Amino acid sequence: MAVSKTRNLLIDTARQLFARDGVESTTMNDIAVASNKGRRTLYTYFRDKEEIYLAVIESELKQLVDSLQEVAAKSIPADEKLYDYIFTRMDAVKKTVVRNGTLRARFFRDIWKVEQVRRYFDQMEVTTLRKILQEGVDEGIFQVESVEGIALVLHYSLKGLDVPYIKGTFNELGIDRKELRSRIIDMIFNGIKTK
């Protein structure tokens, strides 16, 4: 338990320093000092700054996964669950990126590294979307030929909305949050909802 607690402390400390000062400007020594742990302890858990950076990204994605699994576990009709899932996801991704300040710039620059870490999240998301869609089919709310296919399309559609949603591109186009939600829901549900 102490091992996990110490590792989590180091990750959270690194996240805060990366967010405030940037990954490039933060040293392993800065992380050790700010966490009140020695450099030896830090190097016990992480080989280098890149490894702790990836651990920070993993930690942030785990929090996102946890919030989405909460939505998926709700006892509500599948269409409401899918709606809730989509907007919980969009808001949680944006909140995570915004919360991490200067880490955000590195996130966009190193998107391929983030993608490597994000594989687990992607797999979880497709599985969760498949489950929600199958619930909707079983409830007679959705009519789809391929639950797997629609789950993949939804996953990649949501993934494609991440950067514009985070950057506020829709706001720049004069589309407020309420209208955006309406457009997304209309696009998704007109294709799969029976009535």
Model pLDDT for residues 14-25, shown as the tens digit of each residue: 999 988 888 889
Between CA 161 and CA 23 the distance in angstroms is: 25
Please count the other Cβ atoms lying within 10 Å of the Cβ belonging to residue 140: 10
* Residues 6 or more apart whose Cβ sits within 8 Å of residue 10: 31, 35, 37, 41, 42, 45, 46, 52
Between CA 119 and CA 100 the distance in angstroms is: 21
What average pLDDT does the structure give for the chain?
84
> Taking the model in full, what pTM does it have?
0.76
Q: With beta carbons less than 8 A apart as the criterion, state whether 60 and 11 touch.
A: no
Model pLDDT for residues 142-174, shown as the tens digit of each residue: 988 899 999 999 999 888 887 787 777 777 777
Model pLDDT for residues 54-67, shown as the tens digit of each residue: 898 888 888 888 89
pLDDT computed for residue 1 by the predictor: 43
Going from N- to C-terminal start, the domains of the chain cover 56-192
Identify the band that residue 109 occupies on the pLDDT scale cut at 50, 70 and 90: low
CA distances from 72 to 63, 68, 148, 192 (A): 14, 6, 17, 18
The contacts found for 65-73 with CB under 8 angstroms, 24 or more apart, are 65/120, 65/121, 65/124, 67/92, 68/92, 68/124, 68/125, 68/128, 69/124, 69/128, 72/128, 72/131, 72/132
Class of domain 56-192: mainly alpha
